[in-house]
Structure 1
Amino acid sequence: MKLVLHSYTFRRYPLRHVFAVAARHGWDGVELVHFHFDPARVETEVAAAAALGRHYGVEVYCVGYTGDFVGDDPAARAASLALAERTIAAAAEQGIALVNGWSGTLERDPDDWRVNGSALAGPVHYERAAEGYRRLGEYAARHGVRVGVEVYPGSVHDTVSGTAKLLAMVDHPAVVATADPGNAYVVSPADRDPAVLDQLAGRLGYFHLKNLRPDGGRADFNVDTADGVLDNYAWITRADSLGVPAICVEYCGDGDPHPPIARAGDYVRDCLALRDDLARRHASAEAAEAAGELSSTGTAALAGAAGSGR
């Protein structure tokens, strides 16, 4: 499984800085978001970013897109889909096999994520999103690229269940889910349990990791990955068990992002190492228990055998 650094973490820094930090801390790749490239010039911008990453020895693992596939304006939907297709083609040209984003937002109150997105969506919004992703799935498949649908506040897929519903409507193997528990925690109580990821089994293509503390109807992201309300050991190991190929870590809080993101990389590696160590210890203990039971059974049989005198 690859460990990816989300460039949003360093949104106040140039892209060169992102790659240098990723190289310093041994990250496998970077997710490139629009803070670090101009979507209107996506072809040249992604090519330049990929070339810069090669100089630092760090790949662009994923390119971000933003969409408006669900709004009422058909011209805006068409323009948004056309730009997403250009992003897919630009990624493919550089050998980048994943783009990630969301289908647009429906918003009633920006300070209360619980009343936006899926809470406002009707069948027409899901159908528009599904229609858009069917088109993008077909286009991406021809280019050897997958399209990530991120669990994102304000979107029709702002929960795991909403994302699973949308993917079932799309029904295309090139369209996969990007789980993000930090985005969904305040939206849905069901999204506080890592077992919810099982709804995405076979379709979990990417995973965003951060942590939070609830702040009314919003999330406060001014916490380290190992802090906050999410048990990220449970989320990381659950996602890994479902075969997710990469975990992308982001720090969305204020202040200096360097210390929390450095600790985050070590934390993810430690979680996976702990999982493996515990599995070995469980296997060893279970083998010892089985051997002990066999030994006890044999001793009991011998004690009760005819002619034993006892």
Structure 2
Amino acid sequence: MKLVLHSYTFRRYPLRHVFAVARRYGWDGIELVHFHFDPARVEDEIAKAVTLGRRYGVPIHCVGYTGDFVGDDPSDRAASLALARRTIETCARHGIELVNGWSGTLERDPDDWRRNGSAIAEDRHYERAAEGYRQLGEYARRHGVRVGVEVYPGSVHDTVATTARLLAMVDHPNVFATADPGNAYVVSPADRDPEVLDQLAGRLGYFHLKNLHPDGGRADFNVDTADGVLDNYAWITKAYALGVPAICVEYCGTGDPHPPIARAGNYVRDCLALRDDLDRRHEAAEAIGANEAAEAIGAIGAAEAAEPNRAAAVDLSRPAGSSVATLVAKDAGPALAGAPGSGR
């Protein structure tokens, strides 16, 4: 699984700073968003960003698109789709296979995300979004690019369920979901459980990771990735189980972004390493349990053959040999909590 740095984290810094930080901390790529380029000049801007990335040895994994596919003005919708097509074509020219963004926003109350987006969306808004993404999906297919639809506050796809609804309407293999639990937590109680991602199984191609504390109807993002209300170990391992190829980490809070994003990278790596280690230990424990059970069954057969009356005395609840507890304790690695850079 690739580890991608979201350029929004360093929105107050020049793009060269994003690449330098990514190189220093060993990130696999960056997601380039409009805070670091002018979308109206997307062809020239992405070309310059790609050159800069090569200089630092860090590729652009993804480019963000912006626009409004759902508003009432058809000229605005057409202009937004045209710009997204230009972004897709430019990415294809430079070997960038992924664009990510959202379809626009519907806002009634800027201070309460629960009252915006899908809460006020009508069928016509979903139909407009779906038609736009069908067009982009087909254009992207011809150029070898995929289009991410991010779970985003204020959009018609501001929860996993509404994103799944939209993708079902779009029904195009080059259009998929980008999950972002931090964006959806205050919008929908269902989006607080990682199992909600099962609704996107087969259509989840990218993942945004951060953490938060609820602040009324909004989110306070001034918190480390390892803290806050999200159990990000559970989200990371669920995304991994569903085959997500890359996680993009962002810090959306205020203040100096360097310490929290450095801790975030170490935390995600710790989570993935712990997941692998626990899987190995579970497999080993199950194998030992199966072998001991087979030995016990063999012992029962031998005992029955020799002394049939003693067969009933064999206690399968306490097999001989190494216990699972002993196995787990042996060569145990450091726990996630308190690991260097974990933020715990």
Q: TM-score range by the shorter chain?
A: over 0.9
Match in the other structure for 1:259: 259
Q: CA deviation at 1:289?
A: 1.2
Against the structure 1 CA distance between its residues 170 and 305, is the aligned structure 2 distance closer, same or farther, given a 3 Å change threshold?
same
Match in the other structure for 2:186: 186
CA-to-aligned-CA distance 1:16-74 (integer Å, 9 cap, x gap): 00000000000000000000000010000000001100000000110001120000011
Larger Cα-atom Rg: 2
Match in the other structure for 1:164: 164
Distance in 2 (alpha carbons) for counterparts of 1:136 and 1:85 = 7
Alignment of 1:175-214 (within 5 A): 175-214=175-214
Alignment TM-score, normalising by the size of structure 2: 0.89
Match in the other structure for 2:125: 125
Q: CA deviation at 1:300?
A: 2.0
Query: Given the alignment of the two structures, is residue 173 of structure 1 paired with residue 173 of structure 2, yes or no?
Result: yes
Query: Given the alignment of the two structures, is residue 151 of structure 1 paired with residue 138 of structure 2, yes or no?
Result: no
Distance in 1 (alpha carbons) for counterparts of 2:241 and 2:282 = 17
Match in the other structure for 1:86: 86
Match in the other structure for 1:219: 219
Q: CA deviation at 1:308?
A: 7.8
Q: Structure 1: which 5+ runs fail to align? A: none
CA root-mean-square deviation? 1.1
Against the structure 1 CA distance between its residues 52 and 307, is the aligned structure 2 distance closer, same or farther, given a 3 Å change threshold?
closer
Percent sequence identity over aligned pairs = 81
Code of the residue aligned with 1:257 in structure 2: it is P
Query: Given the alignment of the two structures, is residue 110 of structure 1 paired with residue 125 of structure 2, yes or no?
Result: no
Q: Stretches of 4+ moved more than 2 A in 1?
A: 306-310
Distance in 2 (alpha carbons) for counterparts of 1:262 and 1:233 = 17
Code of the residue aligned with 2:265 in structure 1: it is G
CA-to-aligned-CA distance 1:106-165 (integer Å, 9 cap, x gap): 000011000100000010000000000001011111111001000000000000010010
CA-to-aligned-CA distance 1:189-232 (integer Å, 9 cap, x gap): 11001011111111111100000010000000000000001010
Code of the residue aligned with 2:281 in structure 1: it is R
Q: Structure 2: which 5+ runs fail to align? A: 311-344
Q: CA deviation at 1:301?
A: 2.0
Against the structure 1 CA distance between its residues 308 and 110, is the aligned structure 2 distance closer, same or farther, given a 3 Å change threshold?
closer
Alignment of 1:38-117 (within 5 A): 38-117=38-117
Query: Given the alignment of the two structures, is residue 32 of structure 1 paired with residue 32 of structure 2, yes or no?
Result: yes
Alignment TM-score, normalising by the size of structure 1: 0.98
Match in the other structure for 1:5: 5
Aligned residues: 310
Distance in 1 (alpha carbons) for counterparts of 2:107 and 2:283 = 50
